[in-house]
Structure 1
């Protein structure tokens, strides 16, 4: 009887162990399958994020170039104001065109927003990537705040400028294509009314508000250019991490 009980007890323990092992194997297979599915989802998001950020980098390159041109134009304009020298009417109109052209950086947040709304962002196992992405979002907020401030300054700038100069007269609007940023000078009008145009610019240069606005424009775009370059470094860093994740 004791031998039978002992064999039965061992048999029961063996059965229990087999059941437990079977459950553990099933859980392991299920977890592996879930991890595989999540990996596929992550890879899709990583590739889309990379594409979004590459587009943002190209956009930033353009915005940095615009900022550099605006800083140069503002410096030239400040030099003319200080020396009370108008110079070429064509150069003046070109510099004003550069300063009056407005564009802003708007990042492509489509993939990031989708990851947040679906809960997949919180499932990312790469904590370093998550932290870099969160820091990038903060930088985007800083850029948006800076652009809002510059938009306010620009509105004051253009409102004051229009009191002195009708800038549209410098260009042949029928031959120009503003949507493509192509402006053709109306040389006939400029040459015929050169004295009037120079008189308008003289009055403009004597206006302290205009001079201050040019000075602010130089400072704002120089600072903005620095912010955009730092933003670019962040994005390139994240792209490198994403490439490693995609390769793995």
Structure 2
């Protein structure tokens, strides 16, 4: 094709047809420009298709991770609520003059197993971290969804930091309480290390140290309640994000 156009150009020059040559040259330039524009359009179309596919893959991953987070948060709340029930039961038993020795000791056991645990915040952020670190966040074309995602994962960090601060606040109170009262003798998995146990002795110890035990339980009660409230808020926000992502994937 190039040789064909070159032959025409030489023929016009040899025949001294300057006017026709100029018209031909202009036409040739126009054809080249049109060819370049077409090539650019094809390239842009290909890039757009790649971007759409990439966006879809990222959205699918975000959707999967957020659904996984919902289950994680609900399980965390369930564990914390179970712990709160043991705290409430310990308070009831220690404050009751009619509570039996075995019920008081059993309540202490349950508190140490379930109520004295600290809330653990974990979430799936690998896809968003990938989007942020690689600069691919702009792949998500819907700016409203993009902004919502940024705020959503900022909330993840906020709650994780809040849980960390609460835990660090409680630990200095928890450690000496555990050591000074030998509370591990009430914990079923470690009780055997203390040799033969005396139920009456344990029950009287718990009654005499009632305020100290309830104070420690109250710390965990407050931490767990606060964590549950934050997790419920995050579940609500995560459901909103899931709805937005699913709506975007339908387009």
* 1:98 corresponds to: 114
1:218 and 1:172 mapped to 2: Cα distance?
Answer: 23
Whole-Å separation in 2 of the counterparts to 1:232 and 1:125? 25
Q: What do you get for the CA RMSD once the two structures are aligned?
A: 2.9
Displacement of 1:22? 3.3
Give 1:121 deviation, angstroms.
1.0
> Does the alignment pair 1:205 with 2:210?
yes
Structure 2: where are the runs of 5+ without partners? 1-16
> Structure 1: where are the runs of 5+ without partners?
174-184
> How far apart are the structure 1 equivalents of 2:126 and 2:78?
25
Q: Of residues 115, 118, 138 in structure 1, which corresponds to 2:154?
A: 138
2:70 is the alignment partner of 1:60: no
Residue equivalent to 2:240: 237
TM-score, normalised to structure 2, is: 0.77
Contact 2:86 2:114 in 1 (8 A): yes
**Does residue 150 of structure 1 match 2:166?**
yes
Q: Residues 182-207 of structure 1: CA distance to partner in whole angstroms, max 9, x if unpaired?
A: xxx87xx88x6111101221232133
Quote how far apart the aligned CAs of 1:99 are.
Answer: 1.3
2:180 counterpart residue number: 163
- More off after superposition, 95-104 vs 37-46: 95-104
- Whole-angstrom CA distance in 2 between matches of 1:93 and 1:86: 15
1:86–1:202: 8 Å Cα contact kept in structure 2? no
Q: Would you say the 8 A contact 1:165–1:200 is kept in 2?
A: no
**2:119 pairs with 1:116:** no
Determine which structure has more spread, i.e. the larger CA radius of gyration. 2
With normalisation by structure 1, the TM-score equals 0.78
Worse-superposed segment, 10-19 or 122-131: 10-19
